[in-house]
Amino acid sequence: MSLKKNILALREKKAKIQKGGGDAAIEKQVAMGKMTARERIVTLLDENSFHEYDMFVQHEERNFGMDKKELAGDGVITGTGTIFGAPVCVYAQDFTVMGGSLGLKHARKITKIMDHALKLRVPCIGINDSGGARIQEGIGALAGYGEIFYRNTLASGVIPQISVILGPCAGGAVYSPALTDFVFVVENISKMFITGPNVIETVLGEKISQEDLGGARVHAEITGNAHFYAESELECFDQIKKLISFIPWNNSQKAKSFEPKKPKSKKNIEDIIPSDPKQPYDVRDVIKVLVDDSDFFEIQELFAPNIVIGFGRMNGETIGFVANQPMYLAGVLDCDSSDKAARFIRYCDSFNIPIITLEDMPGYLPGVDQEHAGVIRHGAKMLYAYSEATVAKITVILRKAYGGGYIAMNSRHLGADFVFSWPSAEIAVMGPEGAANIIFRKEIMEAEDQDAMRQIKVQEYIEKFANPYVAASKGYIDGVIEPAETRALLLHSLEVSKNKEDYRPTKKHGIPPF
Ligand code: HXC
């Protein structure tokens, strides 16, 4: 055959594969409000930047009638492209091809692109839309999942790994996203569970919808498996692009610098915190007066909202923020908020992103529920993550810094480089009421007017301990500053920390309280 004829034949073959599972399956996909796998990739990546590999890969299963089935690309599209010019490796499961189910060859296409990402030191983005292990392939499918999980683990902390759940992600399929750094979900589209509703009904006799079992909101709000929640696929892709703009390509680089901008927020930093220490406020307002352009990109916004995490820029450089949120549960630390913060701190540390901690919390949440849920184990994760981190670590104590929370929120004692405090700070072992009731119990009990005596003793405690000056007198905080000085001081602290080097004892790896 002449080259021209060969070219025509190639085009025909490609066009057939690009049709995925065919018109009827595509129609079904669209009717579910979903884009096709190919549309997703080209929408996410820079225009004309996508290059596909392994288009002609085929499964080798011969049982259960599979010998007669040719599956376009074996149900997954893989390749490279760019996002805002940054190179990425990407794969998207094609639900129109046998429900995007994962057989061995499908898995090997994924592991091949993951290997590329690790070698090329670029982010790997996986778009999940699959009925799980291809049942006809049995052990081949299970082997495939295992090979993916192994690579997820090897790549962890070396390149950013991003999972996008745009359809079912069932059975063993859930564990690859769970091993990656950021998981994106979309309302009405994402469904993630180990055991589907039909199995639950058979085994447990409980009826539950896919949405209620593992829909987007469930994972964004309750389980914490998802880091970003969107109402449409387009919104989700914008979120991914924004994330990519904040993070470096790999762990030996820094995130891209942007042109420095002043904060846009018109809020007066001195007016954000109410004068009554019991009144709540939104700590994100403080972050927005600190970061360039007041642009704060929050992560896990709906999960454990008593702590806020996310990226902002200062002087054009990416910074990770960890801040107690007095608007929810007074900003206490509990199992979920400790998990949320600890994981983020480790992410920032792995990818050379300085961490700024804003502190205002009354300590760890007391109660049987928390104790039994493992607040000791979960709370320890934060201590571990901050102590282990060697990136620049700066803390500003805005108001309350009590008890274990004072230590956990990047205190000097866990290796903070700079700790500043606003004059409104209360740094003590516990809140004044609780403390006075314990240490002045006898005086209060014996007083004629117990309430009046309690008030006197609370005041005495506040004057003695619930201020920043005791900690400052011991050098545990480096400066008591006016709120208006905060941004300038943070910029300076970041600038002088640019060449920070910090070492930890040589070891294979630590044993964090997972
Ligand atoms: C083979 C599958 C499949 C699978 C879907 N299909 N899932 N084929 N293996 N796992 C096929 C269907 O047979 C159908 O083929 C086509 O994909 C579309 O599926 P539908 O069921 O028509 O779509 P929908 O109604 O939208 O339902 C989607 C679904 C459902 C909820 C995901 O297909 C489903 O429940 N699938 C099984 C999910 C599951 O239990 N997975 C766990 C597998 S075990 P036709 O030819 O009719 O178009 C597992 C363990 C791995 O993953 C452990 C690793 C550690």
pLDDT in tens, 80-91: 999 999 999 999
* Residue 480 and residue 423 in contact, taking contact as beta carbons nearer than 8 Å: yes
**pLDDT digit string, tens, across residues 448-477:** 898 899 899 888 888 887 889 999 999 999
Residues 6+ positions from 378 with CB-CB distance below 8 Å: 334, 335, 336, 338, 339, 513
Pocket test for ligand 1, best of 135, 165, 202, 211 (most atoms within 8 A of CB): 135
* Residue 309 and residue 292 in contact, taking contact as beta carbons nearer than 8 Å: no
Tell me, in angstroms, the distance from the centre of ligand 1 to residue 180's CA.
Answer: 23
- Predicted TM-score (pTM) of the model is 0.95
**pLDDT for the residue 464:** 82
Nearest protein Cα to ligand 1, atom 7:
131
Pairing of strands 161-170, 191-193: parallel
Nearest protein Cα to ligand 1, atom 6:
99
**Nearest CA among 421, 433, 435, 414 for reference residue 483:** 421
| Average pLDDT of the segment spanning 21-40 | 96
* Residue 425 and residue 466 in contact, taking contact as beta carbons nearer than 8 Å: no
Nearest protein Cα to ligand 1, atom 33:
131
**pLDDT for the residue 54:** 97
* Residue 109 and residue 144 in contact, taking contact as beta carbons nearer than 8 Å: no
Structure tokens at 143: 């082997």
| Average pLDDT of the segment spanning 317-346 | 97
Nearest protein Cα to ligand 1, atom 16:
99
**pLDDT for the residue 171:** 87
Tell me, in angstroms, the distance from the centre of ligand 1 to residue 125's CA.
Answer: 22
Tell me, in angstroms, the distance from the centre of ligand 1 to residue 99's CA.
Answer: 6
Q: Which atom of ligand 1 is nearest to the CA of 149?
A: 55
Residues 6+ positions from 431 with CB-CB distance below 8 Å: 362, 363, 400, 402
Strand-pairing partners, residue 187, are none
pLDDT at 1 over 80: no
Residues 6+ positions from 444 with CB-CB distance below 8 Å: 436, 437, 450, 453, 454, 457
**pLDDT for the residue 314:** 98
Tell me, in angstroms, the distance from the centre of ligand 1 to residue 132's CA.
Answer: 6
pLDDT at 160 over 80: yes
Residues with CB under 6 A from ligand 1: 98-99, 101, 131-135, 142, 145, 168, 170-173, 196
pLDDT at 268 over 80: yes
Residues 6+ positions from 7 with CB-CB distance below 8 Å: none
Third-level CATH fold of 3-246: 2-enoyl-CoA Hydratase; Chain A, domain 1 (3.90.226)
Do 3-246 and 269-430+467-496 come out as alike in CATH topology?
Answer: yes
Which region among 149-153, 182-186, 195-199, 477-481 has the lowest average model confidence (pLDDT)? Answer: 195-199
Structure tokens at 27: 């129609």
- Angstrom distance (rounded) from CA 190 to CA 446: 62
pLDDT at 443 over 80: yes
**pLDDT digit string, tens, across residues 65-77:** 888 888 999 999 9
Tell me, in angstroms, the distance from the centre of ligand 1 to residue 92's CA.
Answer: 16
**pLDDT for the residue 5:** 94
**pLDDT digit string, tens, across residues 357-380:** 999 999 899 999 999 999 999 999
Tell me, in angstroms, the distance from the centre of ligand 1 to residue 101's CA.
Answer: 6
Tell me, in angstroms, the distance from the centre of ligand 1 to residue 35's CA.
Answer: 18
Q: Which atom of ligand 1 is nearest to the CA of 171?
A: 52
| Average pLDDT of the segment spanning 146-157 | 98
Pocket test for ligand 1, best of 59, 101, 145 (most atoms within 8 A of CB): 101
At residue 51, the 3 state secondary structure works out as strand
- Angstrom distance (rounded) from CA 122 to CA 254: 13
Mean pLDDT of the chain: 95
Tell me the domain boundaries of the chain: 3-246, 269-430+467-496, 432-465
* Residue 386 and residue 412 in contact, taking contact as beta carbons nearer than 8 Å: no
Homologous superfamily in CATH for domain 269-430+467-496: 2-enoyl-CoA Hydratase; Chain A, domain 1 (3.90.226.10)
**pLDDT digit string, tens, across residues 378-423:** 999 999 999 999 999 999 999 999 989 999 999 999 999 999 999 9
